[in-house]
Structure 1
Amino acid sequence: MRWAVFCCVLVPVVLLVYGTSLGGAAGTALGLAAVTAACRVLLRRSERGLRTELRDGLRDGRHSRS
């Protein structure tokens, strides 16, 4: 997650250095932050589902899905 925050800050700074407008850099930062947040939510949801599936599989005596 630290890399995502770093990139969300670094990319707009680089855009400003190379002459992009402040509004364009801010829009890019907001877009990157939104994508990062969505990915984080999806990752947590899939990890939670995997833990549940593993727990239920061990309880039922199954080790993998067929």
Structure 2
Amino acid sequence: MNAELLWSTGARPPADTAGDVVRWAAFSCVLVPVVLVVYGSSFAGAAGSALGLTAVTAVCRLLLRQSERAAAEERARGVLPPSGRHARVPPRAHRGGRHGRGCTPEG
């Protein structure tokens, strides 16, 4: 299905959260040095900040993509449950608190 058909039926395309994070980080790699120069920082200092932000963004992008691939492989093998807010939770999975039976030694 193409995107127009999906949007016309009310369904939204899947979220690309890692892509969104990388896009915002790339935007900040451009914006931060500009703001630094406008507010009186040296060009060399702004360039150093840009290089540092770019390096951190590249490493984060690499780690996010690797994590996404690993999660997709685990999901394909059936190890991980489906992600999302409405994923099925096995019965009694959220049980907690104190229970009287079987917790104290018989004496």
TM-score normalised by the chain length of structure 1: 0.82
The one-letter amino acid paired with 1:39 is C
Match of 1:2 in 2: 23
Structure 1: unaligned runs, 5 residues or longer: none
Bigger relative CO (Cα 8 Å, ≥ 6 apart): 1
Number of aligned residues: 60
Question: Where in structure 2 are the equivalents of 1:1-66 lying within 5 Å?
Answer: 1-57=22-78, 64=81
Normalized per residue, which structure has more helix?
Answer: 1
Structure 1 vs Structure 2: percent identity of aligned residues?
Answer: 63
Against the structure 1 CA distance between its residues 12 and 63, is the aligned structure 2 distance closer, same or farther, given a 3 Å change threshold? closer
C-alpha displacement of 1:2: 2.5
TM-score normalised by the chain length of structure 2: 0.52
